[in-house]
Structure 1
Amino acid sequence: MLGKTSENHITSLSEIPIQFIRGVGPKKAALFARLGVETAEDLLWHVPRRYEDRSTLRKMSECRPGEECTVVGQVADYRLIRTRRPAFTIFEASFSDSTGMLKVRWFNQPYLADLFEHGQLVMLSGTVQQGRRGGAPPEMQSPIFEIVDEDTDREPIHVGRIVPIYHGTKGVSSRLIRSLVKRVLDQHVDHLCDVVPQDIRERLGLIQFKTAMMQIHFPKGPAPRVDGGSALDSLNRRRSNAHQRLAFDELFLVELGLGMKKVGMKQRATGIVFQVGGPLTERLRQHLPFTLMDAQERVIREMMADMASPYPMNRLLQGDVGCGKTVVAAFAIVCAAESGYQSAVLAPTEILAEQHFWSLRRLLEPLGLRCALVVGGQSKAERNVLLEGIGDGSIAVTIGTHALLHDAIDFNRLGMAVVDEQHKFGVLQRALLKAKGACPDILVMTATPIPRTLALTVYGDLDVSVIDTSPPGRKPIHTIRVLESQRAKAYRLILHELREGRQGFVVYPLVEESEKMDLQAAVSGWEQLKGIFPDQSIGLIHGRMKVSEKEAVMHAFTGGEIRLLVATSVIEVGIDIPNATIMLIEHAERYGLAQLHQLRGRIGRGPESSTCILMTKGGGSPETKRRLDTMVSTNDGFVIAEEDLMMRGPGDFFGTRQWGLPELRVANLIRDVGLLEQARTEAFRLLDEDPELAHPDHAGLRAVLHRRWKGKLDLVGVS
């Protein structure tokens, strides 16, 4: 027995521990916990990982050795054989139908001797083998079986149908899970209630919740599906209507939770009302050596509207490499400064922090705004000077890594926080940064363009702006893959560009675990290149150099004194050299797709054609080939990001766990992005009508929402 059933299936099944389902018990419950299954509700949401078609019944005479066959036969004979080896048994049985015989053996399952009876009808599914002696009937070893109960209408669940296969663990087989799921559904299926409002279900053509739950575990015949194809394919690709319904439920609950968190944040927080459009902002615009693109102007307007409102800005700025995000961020910083507030710029690494420092200082110091860089390795005296300037407000913009979150740094009046590469920072860091000011506006920048709805979900508490164009006049970068054995070809291409008066990069990977060796490789490469190109000025930059040394090298490169810059991968962002038209990336197989795209974005910023050379040893894994082929085939950051997402999965790509999104057991943020858009639209439409789901009709929805988010919606009073 499962226990008394309440009218609300969610509450009922969520309150029934798995150990109290008949056939489990405390020991098995501990094994189920490894699978994340602790209640009867968890069991139903532990959906099959794949399906096998065991529905086609064959006559025994039709079965050939090597074939997978499902047959029905009567028990003709059986015996339990005890071998000389202790505790090793063989259970042997013969089955017959009207056309022939089949001999079956199971090993170490002596209980079967008490299970089978002469004349009993049994369904078997497995691989057929040749009989051991000439003329002997065909055999099976350890097939899946199910005894047919001729006195009831009970359908088979292990054979004779499309059969679900589950993720299991030692001691928890697919067969056991299948039996327990059937037991729960048999007792509770009529009490499985829909928490998705009826009007939404009808509008989207969703099947009933209980129908979906039955079909996902025990599909009958051809499974209903969204697009064409076989029933088995529909199920295994998770495109059946049952999968779509349950995936929608998960995404709908995610979007409802995000919407309620967003509403709650606005209700609680009182932000700074900045004065926008002042004279300093206009000076910045006039100071720029180029005209802003329409997309940049649109995003600036969106930011200014946020900053002028009484609610704190929480905005995500998406844009491909080289689209001009830093300039847009500078407008937010200047707006804050005009209202008497400081800004903090938080980067995931010291190298990126330094590059933002160089870029922002060029833009802001001509306006009289003092910029400071806070990184590790600074002397105590140097750090004290910076702390004093931050504390008395004379430093308008502070750029750094997580070191900015250190207690010793006390801002005088922090009003704006710019966070680079959101998916490298967790909620805790952002919360600490907010704690540095009363309630600063936050602008998050990412050069990893992803579909808007996906961004709104992963960065759920943020509004999204997109710079979807590149500066005019830029040409696509030609990318080629060159083997180390073809190094001379790469050097000829570099020399041609340098002799045309242009500049270039040679980039060496820098991996933390082997930093010393990587650094030696870069220095050695620099020495070799000076011999290969003796008439060219070749510079070197790496992460171990002092800030002042790096600044001197970058100044010389920007001014054209250095023609070819050898670098460890310290140049991912923030470097804008329109005259740089060629890049050689050493050991390109060691980079991720996003990092390769970021590096390539350092060239192709002027009117001339540019070339990126990916140098590899050759060979490599299929994943490596796929990454490099993607780089060769496209310059489009959205295409590259989508491919990166597909290869790495959302968890690795975003570090999703640090945002505390509910676990998705059926839905996939990449595969189901269309469904995600529908779920978001419907969730926000519902919240417009009932912001706190207080209507009695939404009580069940409110309860399951709270449980799926595991209490993380307490911010908005969900109970």
Structure 2
Amino acid sequence: MSLAQYPVDVLSGVGPQRKQHLEELGISTIQDVLEYYPYRYIDYRVTDLGEAEHESQITVQGKVYQTPSFRWFKKNSSRLSARLDVDGIMVQVVWFNQHFLKDKLIPGKTIMVSGRFDRHKLEILAKRTFVSEAEQEKQAGRLEPVYSVNANVQINWLRKLIEEAYRRFGGEIGEILPSTLIEEYRLLPRATAMYYLHFPKGQQEGHQARRRMAYEELLLYEAKLLYLRRLQKTEIEGISHRFDHEKVEELVSQLDFPLTGAQRRVVDEILDDLQASPQMNRLLQGDVGSGKTVVAAIVLYANYLSGYQGALMVPTEILADQHAESLRAILRPLGLTIVSLTGNMRARERRDTLSQIQMGLADIVVGTHALIQEGVVYRQLGLVITDEQHRFGVKQRALLREKGSNPDVLFMTATPIPRTLAISVFGEMDISTIDEMPAGRQPIDTYWVKIDLFPRIVTFVEKECQTGHQAYVICPLIEESEKLDLQNAHDLYEQLTLELSPVRVGLLHGKMNPAEKEEVMRAFSENEIQVLVSTTVVEVGVNVPNATVMVIYDADRFGLAQLHQLRGRVGRGGGASTCVLVADPRSEQGNERMRVMTETTDGFEISRRDLEMRGPGDFLGVKQSGLPAFKVANLAEDLKIMEVARADAALIVNDPEFGSKPETKPIYDRLQAEGLNSKSFD
């Protein structure tokens, strides 16, 4: 019997209610308990004050030098402080809301304190205090694991549960990795590594345990992706599109601009996929303004020529309307019917559109998640394109795919991912990259200015408008907030309306109804509004070639990827464009983001720096991208391990005896236990 077959309630103290609370944490079986690893450790090893860094977590042992001072303040809040002699260095220790310690801090008594160290003040903000000799002896030198818990599961109880699970079932932990890999990389045995993660004995053992389990976790992940890819190529029969290549080339020749070499390359890659019988599952990534929409139009036309409908799903209604208009401009002269399907349509208009789709009168359907709602029936769906794929959940993308009979699937994103990471993370997809900008597209001059210079920026915007151009002004908030001292769109709209008169200023934000948003964007697109004050609702896809200025207020409150997307809204008309970042950063990371934005306009370089600064979970959007939240591995630190794991996984999965060879069968069985089959990538 495998550990995954033992339910968690075989452990003492786990009744129906606690079982439910554990399931909320993803713990249902003994295997889940043993593999529920800590996300950090509290280090109770005594720190040398001379080497302690400012604001680091430290543990010290010393003698109470004087009677502590104590006072109540506010309601039921207290502050306790005392001086501590730590090896001849006098340190002030502060305890908040720990009044019960007052009578225990006797001058001359040795205590152990763990907390945050302020090197400038020689002060420790205490989190844990150990007064008795027995407590100090027990904690000294320990690394205490910290687990992610919820309001219903206490961490101390969870620790005891894990201890019991190891005591009763630790001997049944089986090996997963082939012995050849364990020997080659000098990895700890699986049971030992898992034990050290929960009950660390020291830094060296902890490092070796983490290395072993990170490698295993990444190997299993890569094996799953590669096996899914193999199933996809061999078991999922897609559509073999047959179309007239000369007609496709006629469309390309009739465009207002020549394709870049990169666009030509990715078009050929996608058309080859359309013609092949396996179902296409391809990721197209390219920087803001690199020309992904034109590529989409060309491949949608090829899909139409082969007798199939195409669907393009986008995250917002504004973007859906813009994409529909762009496709009509390119494809309507060739006889194609492009319809929009969004949530704000009137009932009669929606019924008519649904009838067109079902009868096959609509050749291309562009819309939001309305495309996947019940009642949307396609006549013959052959190609599904999802734009800004990370903004849709995996299940949403799968629902659209299921609207047809194994249609070909193309995901598009303007959030470039470093190639090594993209191959490893989206390994079940083929990847096409547009790494070249269209001719004539000028770099956007980017400046970082402090908030007190905003009046000069207003003057600059006014001059640009007087020459016939337009500007965006972006704010992080819609309305004034009591909690955040940030500029908001409503106040700035009122201010600029007065200061820029007679220049017309418009306001756009997410709380407006769809009709209001559409009217504001129409007015801005047609230059009836010269300055658009907005929140990040314009981040993706809004295309106004006449806009040459992007001002981002409180820019340090945005991530690098978001700042780059916003900057990409200007510079679309061939003229010189400017992005102004208005910020007084409150953190070093905020300063670093401003520096990166002023140093480069290369989306791939920005994505690399973004990955370094934020880590992969936030960078990729774990919940939306389908990337699992790894229990041990950290892609920002473990890219090298991931590359090695992917190469090893390829050798394992491509072996014809993968599922039967004793050395690799545990990996195969583990993947099958997770429900691995040809539909798993949905």
Residue 162 of structure 1, CA deviation: 4.7
Greater gyration radius: 1
User: Could you say which residue in structure 1 is the equivalent of 2:320?
Assistant: 353
Contact 2:46 2:61 in 1 (8 A): no
Shift of 1:336: 0.6
Cα pair 1:341 1:416 within 8 Å, conserved: yes
Q: CA RMSD in A?
A: 4.5
1:116-515 pair list within 5 angstroms: 132=106, 138=110, 142-143=130-131, 158-159=138-139, 161-167=141-147, 192-218=173-199, 223=204, 235=206, 240-276=207-243, 278-456=245-423, 458-459=425-426, 461-483=428-450, 485-498=452-465, 501=467, 503-509=469-475
Distance 1:604 1:456, change over 3 A: same
1:654 deviates by 4.4
Kept after mapping to 2: 8 A contact 1:344/1:417: yes
Match of 2:634 in 1: 668
1:50 and 2:41 equivalent? Answer: yes
Aligned to 1:556: 526
Say if 2:661 is the partner of 1:681. no
Partner residue in 2 for 1:656: 622
Name the CA distance, whole Å, in 2 between partners of 1:716 and 1:412.
23
Secondary structure at the aligned position of 2:204 is classed as coil
Which residue number corresponds to residue 551 of structure 2? 584
1:357/1:372 contact within 8 Å kept: yes
CA distance in 2, matches of 1:696, 1:262: 23
Work out whether 1:641 is the aligned partner of 2:631: no
Q: 1:684 to 1:484 in 2, by over 3 A?
A: same
Q: Distance in 1 between matches of 2:341 and 2:257?
A: 30
Structure 2: how far apart are the matches of 1:717 and 1:548? 38
Please say which of residues 378-387 and 645-654 is displaced more in the overlay: 645-654
In structure 2, distance between residues paired with 1:409 and 1:217: 50
What is the rounded CA distance, in whole Å, between the counterparts of 1:700 and 1:599 in structure 2? Answer: 47
Deviation at 1:243, TM superposition (A): 0.8
Query: How far apart in 2 are the matches of 1:527 and 1:70?
Result: 63
Letter in 2 for 1:195: I
Residue 19 of structure 1, CA deviation? 6.0
Structure 1 distance, partners of 2:377, 2:22, is 49
One-letter amino acid of the structure 2 residue matched with residue 194 of structure 1: E
| Counterpart Cα distance in 2 of 1:577 and 1:358 | 13
Corresponding residue SS for 1:672: helix
- C-alpha distance in structure 2 between counterparts of 1:441 and 1:681, whole Å: 27
User: Aligned pair in 2 of structure 1 residues 581, 390: CA closer, same or farther (>3 Å)?
Assistant: same
Secondary structure in 2 matching 1:670: helix
Contact 1:540 1:553 in 2 (8 A): no
Q: Which amino acid aligns with 2:300?
A: I
State the distance in 1 between where 2:645 and 2:217 align: 9
For the residue of structure 2 that corresponds to 1:199, the secondary structure is helix
Note the C-alpha offset of 1:184.
Answer: 6.3
Q: TM-score, normalised by structure 2?
A: 0.75
Relative distance call for 1:384 and 1:511 in structure 2 (3 A) is farther
Q: Deviations over 1:498-531 (max 9, x none)?
A: 56x562322345978999x988668646744651
**What is the CA distance between 1:209 and its match in structure 2?**
2.5
For residues 611-650 of structure 1, the aligned pairs below 5 Å read 611-615=578-582, 618=584, 627-628=593-594, 630-642=596-608, 644-645=610-611, 650=616
The offset of 1:316, in angstroms, is: 1.0
Per the alignment, residue 60 of structure 2 pairs with 68
Map Cα deviations across residues 207-226 of structure 1 (whole Å, 9 max, x no partner). Answer: 432443344445556616xx
State the alpha-carbon separation in 1 of the partners of residues 363 and 678 from structure 2.
33
Partner Cα separation in structure 2 for residue 215 and residue 619 of structure 1: 41
Provide closer, same or farther for how the CA distance between residues 180 and 580 of structure 1 changes in structure 2, counting only shifts above 3 A.
closer
| Structure 2: 5+ residue stretches without partners | 49-57, 64-100, 113-128, 482-486
**Contact 2:550–2:580 (8 Å) recurs in 1:** yes
For the structure 1 residues 698 and 29, does the alpha-carbon distance in structure 2 shift closer, same or farther, using more than 3 Å as the test? farther
Q: Is the 8 A contact 1:306 1:313 kept in 2?
A: yes
Query: Unaligned 5+ residue runs, structure 1?
Result: 1-5, 58-65, 72-126, 149-155, 225-234
Q: Which amino acid aligns with 1:198?
A: S
SS state of the match for residue 143, structure 2?
A: strand
For residues 662-700 of structure 1, the C-alpha deviation after alignment (integer angstroms, 9 at most, x for no partner) is 552211233323322222222222111047623344333
Change (3 A) 1:482 1:526: same
Q: Is the 8 A contact 2:236 2:678 kept in 1?
A: no
Cα separation, partners in 2 of 1:552 and 1:279, compared to 1, 3 Å: farther
CA displacement 1:436-471 (0-9 Å, x = unmatched): 322211111111112335435554542221112223
Identity score, percent:
36
**Gap change, CA 1:217 and 1:382, over 3 Å in 2:** closer
* Aligned residue type for 1:223: Q
Normalization by structure 1: what TM-score?
Answer: 0.71
Cα contact 1:346–1:420 (8 A) shared by 2: yes
Per the TM alignment, residue 643 of structure 1 is displaced from its structure 2 partner at its CA by 5.1
- Aligned-pair distance for 1:317? 0.7
CA deviations over 1:236-261 (Å, ceiling 9, x no partner): xxxx2321110111111122222333
Once the 2 structures are TM-superposed, how far is the Cα of residue 405 of structure 1 from its aligned partner?
Answer: 2.1
Structure 2: how far apart are the matches of 1:594 and 1:582? 19
Alpha-carbon distance between aligned partners in 2 of 1:703 and 1:463, rounded to the nearest angstrom: 26
Aligned partners of 1:18 and 1:38 also within 8 Å: yes
When structure 1 is superposed on structure 2, of 24-33 and 262-271 the one drifting more is 24-33
Q: Which residue of 1 aligns with 2:569?
A: 602
Counterpart-to-counterpart distance in 1, 2:358 and 2:18: 56
Q: Distance in 2 between matches of 1:477 and 1:364?
A: 30
Contact 2:309 2:382 in 1 (8 A): yes
2:311 alignment partner, SS class: strand
- Aligned pairs (5 A) from 1:513-552: 524=494, 527-528=497-498, 531=501, 533=503, 544-545=514-515
1:638 shift after superposition = 3.0
The question of whether the paired residues in 1 share the 8 Å contact of 2:390 and 2:625 is answered with: no
Give the partner amino acid of 1:166: V
Deviation at 1:287, TM superposition (A): 1.7
